[in-house]
Structure 1
């Protein structure tokens, strides 16, 4: 009795991926992740002016936590999930109220419901001078309030849903003293770390790398 011939099973060989294809796929994935991280988690900014000195110097490159105050839900004023509300002392990046194409960075000095005033370079919150290590008036020149609100500003109550911000370098900062309050919905996030510092590669400030912003 003859044995039946076995059927030959032929499988189609899958084409081998080239190294170029693998690198291309990895690059696309990296780009997608970078877009998601930038849109949702953190965003990098560079400090262009001296208004936040000595906390932040010109040429500092910082990272901003974009979800700490909650992500804005499109077409609403709601934010979710909100881990905390902006509080006094936070360094925030926000949309500049007088030109919404620009982002500013300042420090929260007063929040909704508080009354702020400035008397001879002293910042008072609800009539008292709070302890703070960050705000500095370097100039000895005292400007009267009727000429300029830099050193003397009458009491103003911060509306709910907004914050009053100032630069740490209070003699050279264009802030809420001049253009008013920042709506919370215009806050992009809280600055939390310096990841690089230097005006160029020949002036690197190594001691500022990975410095926590306080």
Structure 2
């Protein structure tokens, strides 16, 4: 009589994962997608902020009435050329800063602070103030946005606010002033802004908040800065 030995088959689990496993996998996939989206968004924001456009808020009245306290601005960071980190090289440069530009820059006396002023004198210009009137290279500097809110004229011996100079702007430097002439702390007091301290050109107001009246200034929103 012939014997037959049965060889047991290996057990193979062909069952599909249960509902709990499927939900867990979907949840992990969604979390990973969200994480990737957040990382990409952060990287894009860093690139845009570093090389293209940055937002700034006006904290003081030195540029009134051009810029009011509570105005929020966008600053073009590549128009003057974007600096490559850890080198002095620049790229994407469209033009040099020139007279009349409203610029954001590192405050020379405290680089941790950003200031915003208007360029009055470019490299090589001779700038002088005489009784609240500004002259560049011997000619009156015409600025339609300039305002004076103090009638008193301060002598040069006491304060350079109304009478100063003449001073010659050094190479790679700029003489800047606030449009609110009598209430601006600027190049008349602390000197020049070097080219490498300029962060960009202020070009548009994207938001404006009147903190005294506690309401938006809708007329300022979307207005170009000139």
TM-score above 0.5: yes
Q: Say which one has the larger Rg.
A: 2
Aligned mate of 1:20, from 13, 16, 31: 31
Is the partner of 1:35 in helix, strand or coil?
helix
**TM-fit CA distance, 1:62:** 0.5
The CA RMSD measured in Å over matched residues stands at 2.2
**TM-fit CA distance, 1:22:** 2.7
Alignment partner of 1:197 is 2:208: yes
Is the partner of 1:165 in helix, strand or coil?
strand
Q: Please, which moves more after superposition, 33-42 or 71-80?
A: 71-80
Counterparts of 1:141 and 1:78 in 2: how far apart (Å)?
46
Counterparts of 2:111 and 2:90 in 1: how far apart (Å)?
20
Is the partner of 2:219 in helix, strand or coil?
helix
> Could you list the per-position Cα deviations for residues 126-168 of structure 1 after superposition, in whole angstroms to 9, with x for gaps in the alignment?
1111322122222110000111010001211101110000000
Alignment partner of 1:157 is 2:157: no
Alignment partner of 1:210 is 2:219: no
Aligned to 2:80: 69
Is the partner of 2:139 in helix, strand or coil?
coil
Alignment partner of 1:39 is 2:69: no
Counterparts of 2:86 and 2:48 in 1: how far apart (Å)?
22
Aligned to 1:100: 111
Alignment partner of 1:144 is 2:145: no
**TM-fit CA distance, 1:207:** 1.0
> Could you list the per-position Cα deviations for residues 60-118 of structure 1 after superposition, in whole angstroms to 9, with x for gaps in the alignment?
01111111100123444443232110000101111111111111111101100110001
Relative to its length, the structure with more helix (as a share) is 2
Unaligned runs of 5+ in 1: 1-14
Q: Please, which moves more after superposition, 174-183 or 34-43?
A: 34-43
TM-score, reference length from structure 2: 0.84
Counterparts of 1:75 and 1:147 in 2: how far apart (Å)?
43
Unaligned runs of 5+ in 2: 1-24
Counterparts of 1:92 and 1:101 in 2: how far apart (Å)?
16
**TM-fit CA distance, 1:25:** 2.3
Counterparts of 1:74 and 1:20 in 2: how far apart (Å)?
33
The count of aligned residue pairs is 204
**TM-fit CA distance, 1:199:** 4.0
